[in-house]
Amino acid sequence: MKFHRLGAALTAATLTVFLAACGGNDDSGGLPTVSTGPSDTPTSASATTAAPTPTAPPTRSTQKYGTLTLVLDHMPKPPANSELVLQAYDEFERSTHKTYATNVEDPGLARRAAAAALQDARKVLQDQKAKKVRTGGSITVTVKVDRTNAAAAALSSCYDQSKAVLVRADGTTYVGPGAKQYPRLKVAVILANVGGLWKVTEYNLRRDIC
């Protein structure tokens, strides 16, 4: 059983409906491969210039958006050539959580999210606006790169929202039903290389405890 992230603002009823609507077995299948086509080997000397080596993201980073603190942890020894994947994933997490903390869509969200992941993030934003709450407290995401190729990457994460709260317009806070019922969840993430830019296309929260 899996379900897309709906954020800390969901009511228990909404979460129950979403779980019922998203049945199916967890998919741990292989990644798509790059299709072969006509050779695009560069012919000019300028085109053969080597691209700069991407810098590995830090093992741990902390950002604060209003009353929300986001901590991103990377598991040690990620696969080779996964720096750009991790960078894109980190930017996705930062953009989504800045959006949830401010109730204003961060411009980086559409840059680093696509398909179901983008739709789900916007649903959370709409839900929070309707309830006049924002996300606060502390959330820690621990991520591991499981496998990657030139076209796609699969990551697994632990989403710890045990210290997350919802913030009302008057500044008072309470623990949302989602965080109360599922304080720590496993996450299956898929990123796709879209025109040379890595984007999160699936962000599936599972009811398994991590």
pLDDT, one tens digit per residue, over 160-174 is 999 999 999 999 999
Return the structure tokens found at 109: 């969200």
What is the β-pairing status of strands 133-148 and 68-74? parallel
Distance CA 96, CA 110 (A): 10
Summarize the confidence of residues 28-56 as an average pLDDT. Answer: 43
Structural domains in the chain plus CATH codes: 2-24+56-206 (3.10.450.50)
The confidence band for 58, taking pLDDT boundaries of 50, 70 and 90, is: confident
Asked whether the beta carbons of 167 and 67 are under 8 A apart, the reply is yes
Q: Give the 3-state secondary structure of residue 69.
A: strand
Q: What global pTM score does this model have?
A: 0.76
* Residue located via tokens 């950002």: 63
Model confidence at 25: pLDDT above 70: no
The confidence band for 193, taking pLDDT boundaries of 50, 70 and 90, is: very high
The confidence band for 207, taking pLDDT boundaries of 50, 70 and 90, is: confident
Model confidence at 64: pLDDT above 70: yes
Tell me which of 176 and 41 has the higher pLDDT: 176
- The angle that helices 115-131 and 83-102 make with each other, rounded to 10 degrees, is 20
Model confidence at 29: pLDDT above 50: no
Model confidence at 10: pLDDT above 80: no
The confidence band for 120, taking pLDDT boundaries of 50, 70 and 90, is: very high
**Residue 121 CB-density burial (10 A; 0-12 exposed, 13-18 middle, 19+ buried):** buried
- Other beta carbons less than 10 A from residue 81's beta carbon: 13
Return the structure tokens found at 69: 């603190």
Tell me which of 3 and 114 has the higher pLDDT: 114
